[in-house]
A = this chain, B = another copy of it.
Amino acid sequence: MSMAEAIERHVPDGSTVAMGCALEALIPFAAGHEMIRQRRRELELVGPISDALFDQLIGAGCVRRVTAAWVGNVSEGLGHSYRRAAEERVPRAIEVHDHSNFSISLALWAAAWNVPSLPTRTLLGSDILRTNPGLVSQDGLVHVTAVRPDVAVVHVQRADEHGRAHAWGPLGITEEAGLAADRIVISCEELVGADVTLSDPNRIQFPETKVVAVVHEPGAAHPSPVQGYFKRDHAFYRQYADRSRTVDVFDAWLEDWVLGVPDRASYMKRIDVDSLRIKQHRPSVPADFGDE
């Protein structure tokens, strides 16, 4: 399935969308850019920390609410579009449901286990309890209300057409986001056969019964890193920081890198892929799944 079709079908206006769940790695930028091109509106974005992607969607006016622990640019600092939306309602006002990294994970586990909330000892004494109605302090614990994404969008190293996805490296809150979500959209560096995915069922991230789309989109995570495939493009993040400081430069950046770009393949032609590609291979030692 193409990314355009996947977003068209599975991420309608008003959706609650979990993205960037592996934190700085495996960020589904291609999916986010397609949402911008399709002029998605009224989205609620859910994630732990978001390294630039949420800032871009906010600047493009796609977002109604952010439910996350941190939104900015990890190597550069502040998210300028996020600031404009929160401080000046430009291009529109957004609602913010603040979390910590631990509490957003628990909010997703609550949804995965279908309970109203889960208790935790974190956030006691934090003013985040004052600004997020989904965090209730009681009896010396904080009760974290379940967050149920309509869709989790995840980039992985490889997947098969049936939705069995292999991801590796640090995975943050990817697993609970997928289990909590009503459906899962996957983009992958490599589309492989079931002989590859089923050779290691422990590395399969999600129940295939929740996966509604698999998009073969190499480089879909650029400028974020993909273990074994791509390094992080630090310069691109710095360039984005510079080109998002004002509405005008941001709009130009958006036209330049998203709206004026038909698809990811065209986008990748403008990236120095060779300098970012990981060339030194470190294969894991196989596990023997022999059964007789």
Contacts and interface: CB of A to CB of B under 8 A. Distances in A.
Contacts of A195: 285
Interface string A91-120: 000000000000000100000011111111
A157 interface: yes
Contacts of A289: 168-169, 227-228, 282-284
A278 B291 CA distance: 6
A157 B114 CA distance: 34
A271 interface: no
Q: How many copies does the complex hold?
A: 2
Contact of A118 (B119, B157, B281): B119
Contacts of A168: 200, 202, 287, 289
A292 B115 CA distance: 43
B281 A288 contact: yes
A292 B231 contact: yes
Contacts of A75: none
A280 B290 contact: yes
A284 B227 contact: no
Interface in A178-213: 195-196, 199-200, 202-203
Interface in A214-273: 227-229, 231
Interface string A151-171: 000000100000000101101
B288 A286 contact: no
5 contacts: A115-B120, A199-B285, A229-B290, A280-B292, A284-B286
